[in-house]
Amino acid sequence: MFSLAMRSIRQRPGRFAATLLSAFLGATIIMMFNSLLDTAGADGVDDTSAESLSTAAMVVGGYGSLLVFFAVASTLTVAVRQRTDEIDLLRSTGATPAQITRMVVGEAAVVALAGALLAIVPGMVGGRILLDMFQDSGQVADDVDHVFGTVALMSGIDITLLASVGAAFLAVRRAGRARAGRAPRRRLRTWGGYAALGLGAGLCLTGFAMGDAGPEAMAPPAYGAILLSVGFAAFSPALLGGLLRLAGGVLTAFGGGSGYLTVHGLRQRAAQLSGVLMPMVLFVGISVATLYMQSVENDHIEAAGLTRSVDDKNLETLNFVVVGIIAVFACVMLVNTLYAATSYRSREFGQQRLAGATPGQVLAGVGLEGLLLTVTGVFFGTLAAVAGIVPFTVARTDHVLPEAGYGIWAAVAGVAAAATLATALGTARRVLRTPAVETVALAA
Amino acid sequence: MFGRNERRGPAGPAAGSAPHEALRLVKVTKVYGTGGAEEAAVTALDGVTLSLPAGSFTAVMGPSGSGKSTLLQCAAGLDRPDSGVVMVDGAEMTAGSETELTKFRRERIGFVFQQYNLLPTLNVAQNTVLPLKLAGRRVDRARVREVLARVGLADRMRHRPDQLSGGQRQRVAIARALVAAPSVVFADEPTGALDTRSARDVLGLLQETVRVDRRTVVMVTHDPVAASYADAVLFLADGRLVGQMNAPTADAVAERMTHLGDMYEAGAPQSGAPRTAPMGA
Ligand SMILES: Nc1ncnc2c1ncn2[C@@H]1O[C@H](COP(=O)(O)OP(=O)(O)OP(=O)(O)O)[C@@H](O)[C@H]1O
Ligand SMILES: [Mg+2]
């Protein structure tokens, strides 16, 4: 079965592009930040430099890794779900469930490993650039040399591998259950979701207690916001279902044929869309949370009439780099997953066209769906972010909400909407270029 | 049972002009694979000319690769011929955009596929009314129920395709093809994936559409028994019409097919002497 896995990868490298890309990017980010730990631990690094570096690595390596883990896992889940037909075929030709699981998990492992190995060089380069940035802003002594050691290497490989293999295993098991006619159990997802929500809420609440604990007080609410994002994403199918119940009547009444396609399609596909919602909620949650907390921190320092210390600057650079890298990563994952999910629908679009939908109607349906996805994703991402921002603001200032206004939020939401709609519509347009008859024949 | 919609637009035939033409193809040619320099071009349709009267049931037969599916798809506006004219119900099919073709098809054409092509996320009733919804037409509940009752699925309206047998799925597909009251219904191996009994049901439905509603049905099949349900069989080989049989019986069709097979396996002239056009246009 492992040789079957290898063969299927070699035969159709294209279909693994999405998972390979997510593993590669995820591992690059982890390796890049964690190489700062290797650097800090090297001989002859002074204490201040070492501390700057480890704070960066701990904070970012921490929540960056968490984010990478869930983003990679959601891409993998989408990828495995798309292979139901092939898995059914294998099953009907006599493969046992265990053999199928070994094949899918084996493929996931090979692809994750390949992604992680490819990430080594970019991770090294990225780590060196980060170190340069710290040195340029005077937070790390100039004589510190960049080290890319076992911590960076092992954490990069391990986290990527664990996320891929774990998600593939769960997805293939779920597919098997669904086929056996048993209602797919979502216990793990449900309990995982509750755990993430509980833990996230707890971390956010500790923000209240942090008071003047210094700028590090930002870390727990930031972690909290990420965990809440993950929790919301776990429940997103139900949440999307709720939104559809609210908006469904209006859409079918006024959306014409496209509204009809969207509402009825989404209702059934809500579960699959959580794979796309996960990176979107994470993107919105982490960007909004970090950017507002930083603005609160800056206001706080100004209000106290203090000039900003090296530590403060350190944290600000760090936050912007982090939010930049992590936000770009989450955004790329959103695009990546949505691209994979949309191009997979060529057969479905073909069937719609054969039933009498014009290309314009198919596109309008995809656009509507993207809009609903964006609304859901932005809503829950914002909720998660606010849960992190409020405790921090209360602890740092004497009001509840930051004074920065809605501009940052609107910008983040705008990017999420643009990325979602551009990807979904662009991919659908490309898919629509294939004649409808061919798209339904292809998958046969 | 199926109320025939008033034909829209000036394209419709003059009322009362007894047996008018439902489908006409004039010198329709389709060549695949002219793009790449390396791959040899395949002439899937080689100047096919035919004419089918309204209210006829025609079967199209021929060896695998003879161009049957291509013929149906070109006639139904799912594929574009390289040259030639296709007229459905008196209106010429334009070589315009996909949107224009789609609108042309909505008004006039129903298509039934071997692999059903129902939308998996919609239930039976939703799949059936989909063409109407997409065309922005009013959905008459009573009519949907009537169409589904006709195909024997009135009690399955809320089931999704994956909860139905192959035969039931194909009957939903037929209901969907009929719901918009098209003039011509095309079916590409509609019984190809079905057992004998389900196949008989499906063929009976297609026949009823012709006899009762006076629609025109064109069906590709490999099965002589299925072909015997039709009024006439057209034989296709190498992208050309090579024969016709009226009032076909299963035995006669089977016999003719064997000869067709022999003829081509023996390497009969591919483009030699012109064969007689099987149908007067
Ligand atoms: N998209 C395509 N690209 C290239 N060649 C094609 C394409 N579709 C069909 N052909 C070729 O055109 C010819 C006619 O194909 P067609 O599918 O119409 O045959 P058919 O009579 O329906 O065969 P079957 O009975 O096996 O379904 C064949 O030689 C086929 O290989
Ligand atoms: Mg065919």
Provide the residue ranges of all domains of chain A, joining segments of one domain with +: 1-185, 186-444
Q: How far is the CA of A442 from the centre of ligand 1 (A)?
A: 13
Alpha carbon dihedral A186, A191, A193, A197, in 10-degree steps, equals: 160
Judged against a pLDDT cut of 80, whether residue B39 lies above it is answered with no
Q: Which of B98, B103, B134 comes nearest A355 by C-beta?
A: B134
pLDDT, residue A444, reads 40
CATH of the domain at B25: 3.40.50.300
Long-range pairs, B6-12, Cβ under 8 A, ≥24: B7/B89, B7/B183, B8/B107, B9/B91, B9/B107, B11/B89, B11/B90, B11/B91, B12/B89, B12/B90, B12/B91
Q: How far is the CA of B68 from the centre of ligand 2 (A)?
A: 6
B233, B193, B232: which is closest to B61 by C-alpha? B233
Asked if B31 and B42 count as a contact pair (C-beta separation under 8 A), the reply is yes
What are the strands of the beta sheet with B83-88, ordered from one edge? B42-53, B21-32, B83-88, B91-92
Task: Give dist(CA B213, CA B5) in Å, integer.
Answer: 11
Nearest chain B CA: its distance from A134 CA (Å): 53
Q: Is A442 within 8 Å of chain B by CB?
A: no
Residues on chain B bordering chain A, Cβ-to-Cβ distance under 8 angstroms: 73, 78-79, 98-99, 102-103, 105-106, 111, 113, 115, 117-122, 126-127, 130-131, 133-136, 176, 180
Asked if A317 and A257 count as a contact pair (C-beta separation under 8 A), the reply is no
pLDDT, residue B141, reads 87
Chain B residues with CB under 8 Å of A361 CB are 134
Task: Give dist(CA B255, CA B267) in Å, integer.
Answer: 19
Residue with tokens 């509840």: A400
B contact test, residue of A437, A439, A442 with most B CBs within 10 A: A437
CB of B248 shorter than 6 A to ligand 1 = no
Task: Give dist(CA A428, CA A102) in Å, integer.
Answer: 33
Q: pLDDT tens, position by position, for chain A (444 residues)? A: 566 666 766 666 666 888 899 899 999 999 998 898 899 888 888 888 888 888 777 776 777 787 788 888 888 888 887 777 778 777 777 778 888 888 889 989 999 999 999 999 999 999 999 888 888 877 788 888 899 999 999 999 999 999 899 988 988 887 777 666 665 566 777 888 899 899 999 888 887 776 665 656 777 888 888 889 888 888 877 788 787 778 777 777 777 778 888 877 777 777 677 778 888 998 999 889 888 888 887 787 777 777 667 666 766 776 677 678 878 888 888 998 898 888 888 888 999 999 999 999 999 999 988 998 999 899 999 999 999 899 888 888 778 888 888 999 999 999 999 999 999 999 999 999 989 988 887 544
pLDDT, residue A181, reads 60
Q: Is A178 within 8 Å of chain B by CB?
A: no
CB of B209 shorter than 6 A to ligand 1 = no
Structure tokens of A177?
A: 């259950």
Tell me how many domains chain B contains: 1
Task: Label residue A147 exposed, middle or buried (CB < 10 Å: 0-12, 13-18, 19+).
Answer: buried
Tell me whether residue B171 is in a domain.
Answer: yes
Name the pLDDT band for B17 (thresholds 50, 70, 90).
Answer: very low
A437/B126 Cβ within 8 A? no
Give the single-character DSSP code of B50: E
pLDDT, residue A288, reads 92
Task: Give dist(CA B159, CA B254) in Å, integer.
Answer: 38
pLDDT, residue A212, reads 61
A38, A19, A18: which is closest to A124 by C-alpha? A38
Helices within B111-195 (DSSP H only): 124-134, 141-150, 166-179
CB of B63 shorter than 6 A to ligand 1 = no
Structure tokens of A331?
A: 């955004």
CB of B114 shorter than 6 A to ligand 1 = no
* Chain-centre distance for alpha carbon A161: 16
The mean of the pLDDT values for chain B is 84
Judged against a pLDDT cut of 60, whether residue B4 lies above it is answered with no
b/e per residue B219-233 (b: at least 16 CB within 10 A):
bbbebbbbbbbbbbb
pLDDT, residue A177, reads 73
Angle separating helix axes B166-179 and B124-134, nearest 10 degrees = 30
Q: Which of B111, B118, B134 comes nearest A357 by C-beta?
A: B134
B98/A354 Cβ within 8 A? no
B98/A355 Cβ within 8 A? no
Residue nearest atom 27 in ligand 1 by C-alpha distance: B64
pLDDT, residue A185, reads 60
Q: Which residues pair with B59 in a beta bridge?
A: B219, B233
Name the pLDDT band for B277 (thresholds 50, 70, 90).
Answer: very low
Q: Provide the residues around ligand 2 (an ion) whose CB is within 5 A.
A: B 69
Rounded to a whole number of angstroms, the CA Rg of chain A reads 23
Number of Cβ within 10 Å of residue B32's Cβ equals 16
pLDDT, residue B274, reads 38
| Residue of B43, B46, B70 to test ligand 1 pocket, by largest number of atoms within 8 Å of CB | B70
Angle separating helix axes A219-234 and A187-210, nearest 10 degrees = 160
Which chain B residue shows the shortest CA-CA distance from A441? B115
Nearest chain A CA: its distance from B124 CA (Å): 12
Nearest chain B CA: its distance from A396 CA (Å): 51
CB of B42 shorter than 6 A to ligand 1 = yes
pLDDT, residue B48, reads 95
Nearest chain B CA: its distance from A282 CA (Å): 28
Task: Give dist(CA A321, CA A60) in Å, integer.
Answer: 10
Tell me whether residue B212 is in a domain.
Answer: yes
Task: Give dist(CA A268, CA A178) in Å, integer.
Answer: 14
The mean-pLDDT minimum among A49-63, A128-142, B118-132, B140-154 falls in A49-63
Q: Measure the CA angle with vertex B174, ends B171 and B180; round to 5°.
A: 140
Number of Cβ within 10 Å of residue A398's Cβ equals 7
Asked if B135 and B182 count as a contact pair (C-beta separation under 8 A), the reply is no
pLDDT digits (tens, 9 = 90+) for B50-109: 999 999 999 999 999 999 999 999 999 999 999 999 999 999 998 788 999 999 999 899
> What stretch of H or E contains A216?
none
A contact test, residue of B30, B118, B126, B134 with most A CBs within 10 A: B134
Residue nearest atom 3 in ligand 1 by C-alpha distance: B32
Task: Give dist(CA A346, CA B26) in Å, integer.
Answer: 33
Which chain B residue shows the shortest CA-CA distance from A349? B119
Instruction: State the ligand closest to the CA atom of B73.
Output: 1
CB of B69 shorter than 6 A to ligand 1 = yes
Q: How far is the CA of B254 from the centre of ligand 2 (A)?
A: 18
B86, B23, B92, B94: which is closest to B52 by C-alpha? B23
Tell me whether residue B8 is in a domain.
Answer: no
- Greater confidence (A344 vs B110) lies with B110
Task: Give dist(CA B29, CA A351) in Å, integer.
Answer: 26
Nearest chain B CA: its distance from A352 CA (Å): 7
A352/B121 Cβ within 8 A? no
Asked if B81 and B30 count as a contact pair (C-beta separation under 8 A), the reply is yes
Task: Give dist(CA A422, CA A408) in Å, integer.
Answer: 21
Residue with tokens 């570096």: A53
Range of the domain at B33: 20-266
Structure tokens of B255?
A: 């016999």
Tell me whether residue B281 is in a domain.
Answer: no
pLDDT, residue B194, reads 87
